[in-house]
């Protein structure tokens, strides 16, 4: 029996889209993460779409980002931005809240948050 992917366990495209939108909604509305919001364009439509496409494949679903843009090269794509521990923590604050609002098992939330943290930490490109 094949193990289900996180994408399947979450419920597929609709839930991944919800998670993406909720993440950005939190980022836009929480004044404590304003420096993170300021790293993004005024119109978040493209950012929302790219994160959705990335998360689809990253969670084990369709590789939408790769099909359209090629390999994610996350660190390279984030090099124009000063990503330090503070930026990582603000990003994680938004994602933590979004993940914790998902309707899924606690073990899956914990697995997702660990993977998100590891990825966000890898994005750091500033010495502290």
Burial of 1 (0-12, 13-18, 19+ CB in 10 A): exposed
**Does residue 115 contact residue 75 with C-beta atoms inside 8 Å?**
no
**Does residue 97 contact residue 26 with C-beta atoms inside 8 Å?**
yes
Q: What is the pLDDT of residue 2?
A: 73
Length of the chain, in residues:
128
Weakly modelled stretches of the chain, pLDDT under 70 = 1, 128
- pTM of the complete model: 0.93
Report the Cα–Cα distance between both ends of the chain, in Å, rounded. 46
Q: What is the pLDDT of residue 55?
A: 98
């Amino acid at each position: 029996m094949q193990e289900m992917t996180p994408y399947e366990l979450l419920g597929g495209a609709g839930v991944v889209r919800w998670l993406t939108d909720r993440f950005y909604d939190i980022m836009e509305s929480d004044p404590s993460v304003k420096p993170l919001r300021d790293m993004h364009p005024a119109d978040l439509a493209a950012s929302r779409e790219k994160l959705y496409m990335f998360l689809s494949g990253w969670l084990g679903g369709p590789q939408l980002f790769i099909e359209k843009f090629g390999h994610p090269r996350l660190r390279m794509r984030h090099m124009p931005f000063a990503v330090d521990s503070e930026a990582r923590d603000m990003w994680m604050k938004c994602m933590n809240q979004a993940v914790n609002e998902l309707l899924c098992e606690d073990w899956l939330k914990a697995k997702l948050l660990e993977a998100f943290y590891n990825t966000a930490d890898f994005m750091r490109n500033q010495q502290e």
